[in-house]
Amino acid sequence: MCGIVGFTNSVGDTGEIIGAMMDRIRHRGPDAEGKYVDEDIALGHRRLSIIDVSSQGDQPIFNEDGSLVIVFNGEIYNYRQIRDRLIDAGHTFSTNTDTEVLIHGYEEYGEKLLNMLRGMFSFVIWDKKKKELFGARDFFGIKPMYYAQMNGTFMFGSEIKSFLEHPSFVKELNTDALENYLTFQYSPADETFFRNVYKLQPAHFFRYKDGKLEMKRYWDVHFDADNGPDLKEWVNRISDTFRDSVKAHKIADVEVGSFLSSGVDSSYAAAVAEVDKTFTVGFGNDEKYNEIGWAKEFSKAIGKENTSKVITPEEYWDSLKKIQYHMDEPLADPSAVALYFVCNIAAEKVKVVLSGEGADEIFGGYNVYSDPDGTLYDRVPRVIRRCIGNIAEKLPAKRGVNFFVRKGKDVEERFIGNAYMFKPEERKALLKIKTSAPDPTALTRRYYKRVKGKDDVTKMQYLDLHMWMAGDILLKADKMSMANSLELRVPFLDKKVMALAQTIPTKYRVTHSKGTDETKYITKYAMRLAAKKDTPKQTAKTAAKKKLGFPVPIRVWLKEDKYYNIVRSTFESENSEKFFNTPLLVKLLDDHRSGKADNSRKIWTVFIFLVWYSVYFDNNGKY
């Protein structure tokens, strides 16, 4: 696991500039650094040593004749098999690294190499002869890649903050991203919060030559149910495939640990992987916000050492600027801070951890997936439900009312992912500034088109796999682990696991059957049964337990004087006045405090943007 940076075209002090860019992301790789500079390009690398921990694995790495040079961030779990094929084809290796497999693989197979890989990656290869840059990002977007074309320079890197050190970089807020963020709680489009800086999308590669950038998708998810096998067969297939993935994800020359909450995903991974150590965090003593007791009990049952930490409110709030600095773009997911702290305690004892990200998206684990056609009300004719929904939408937002609003709309109209903060009309009222941000459904439409004709559960999963998972789940997983120089691996997000999951019938992903113990689980149905089969009895309790994730008591804190006042002063600040109608912000805050409405997530969305803006625009990327 590492960090990469680079840029084309020569500038006055190329070596110093690439060095400064590398320093900005030192946290991604404190073990070693390396760079390559010529008249056309500068490449930089920071290394966290996991495989071939000797200096032989330092980057950049070259092919035999030195005509190709690579910088790489990630891990390729099947690199040994590809390496054997390349040796048979006549390639000579000077290291035992997966990095060198990539450069020889590209030399042999070109872009076709990408679909041969099993792992997480973002890498760039410079072809000296062609003067061409080739870059790629992994299938799910586990590892990040940003790029920008400014003032004749093409720059790229694992984190946007490295661009701040380049003289050609123009730092300007992208207000379209702000408006989109107010709805999604993350930046959902290809563009970022920095104008003219973009994300290379998951499962895409690019070529850059003579000032021209070409981009192409090389892989996608294709849900196509196989109705042949029965439930028992699916459970066995999941068990075998996941065990194989965990085995691959444990490849390392250093010790591997695992995160552990009370949920089935992390418990399944920790038990099957047989790691030596598990890590857990929580808040206070309330079981709603603290899973430590559950995690310690489970760790004891599987014979592992558990390290835990109770995060105090003061620690949480004091860390917010640091968190948003490392995030690069504002992310209003409160669990990002909890993830930072669990990474922090893990990094004191191991270099690599396994985590349960991705299981919900690929196996159908979110509670909202059980909503379509899941009630008697769904049998009411659609035209009547739509009429009732239109009436309900005009009433004050409440849980029961929201049900009728939801049921009155098609999934394409109502579902944009697991977070829906401000509706388009609400964000327009909140913002002082005018933007050209599209309606949320304009951003989701291209994904829904690809699964036209599929059932609603499949549509929602496909959308979450491409937007929510990459924009929120994997963003915070990468940035919070790398902030602590820790490699985070996600065995559910494996090509072979996905190839299996996309063929599981919807009824085995989300079921509404109730009765026996074997049919009571609603979401991730077949996967839960596989977890129950493969792990100790305690997992059976875990498989049935309501999903918490990293529960954070934001709604409680915002009613306390100390934190209410922090947020209010931020809402009434000069920065806030630049963008927002501040009286509306204060009303959201006061209504929450008085109990008129739970506005905690909306408040947090705006507050986190203002924290991030202060870090990057008041302090030039310092906290």
Among 2, 22, 281, 606, the one annotated catalytic: 2
Which residues does residue 149 pair with via DSSP β-bridges, in sequence order?
154
Task: Say which amino acid occupies 89.
Answer: A
Please check whether residue 282 is in contact with residue 290, taking contact to mean a CB–CB distance below 8 angstroms.
yes
Query: Which H or E run includes 207?
Result: strand 204-209
Assess contact for 219 and 209: CB atoms under 8 A: no
Euclidean distance between CA atoms 38 and 18, whole angstroms = 12
- C-alpha closest to that of 403 among 388, 423, 418, 421: 388
Question: What residues form DSSP beta bridges with 352?
Answer: 256, 487
Task: List, as one string, the DSSP characters of 296-341.
Answer: HHHHHHTT-EEEEEEPPHHHHHHTHHHHHHHHSS----THHHHHHH
Q: Could you tell me the two tokens for 491?
A: 């065995």
CA distance 195 to 172: 6
Bridge partners of 30, per DSSP, are 47
Q: Are 15 and 133 in contact (CB under 8 A)?
A: no
Contacts of 430 (CB under 8 A, 6+ apart): 182, 422, 580, 581, 584, 585, 606
In which region does residue 303 sit, left (phi positive, over 0), alpha (psi from -120 to 50) or beta (all else)?
Answer: left
Distances (CA, A) of 287 to 249, 260, 266, 600, 602: 31, 15, 18, 20, 24
Provide the 8-state DSSP code for 438. Answer: P
The SS3 of residue 2 is strand
Q: 387 an active-site residue?
A: no
Q: What are phi and psi of 435, to 5 degrees?
A: -130, 175
Tokens of 614: 């202060």
Give the sheet arrangement for strand 212-217, strand by strand.
Answer: 61-62, 68-76, 119-127, 132-137, 204-209, 212-217
| Cis before 60 (ω within 30) | yes
Single-letter amino acid code for the residue at 511: T
Asked if residues 354 and 268 have their Cβ atoms less than 8 Å apart, the reply is no
Q: Are 555 and 597 in contact (CB under 8 A)?
A: no
Within a 13 Å sphere around the CA of 432, how many CA atoms are in the beta-carbon half? 11
Query: What is the C-alpha to C-alpha distance for residues 498 and 510, in angstroms, rounded to an integer?
Result: 16
Q: Compute the residue count for the chain.
A: 623
* Tokens representing residue 345 in the block: 């305690």
Q: Which amino acid is at 451?
A: V
Q: How do beta strands 487-489 and 61-62 pair?
A: unpaired
Phi, psi angles (nearest 5°) of residue 374: -100, 5
Rounded distance between C-alpha atoms, residue 304 and residue 349, angstroms: 14
Active-site positions read 2
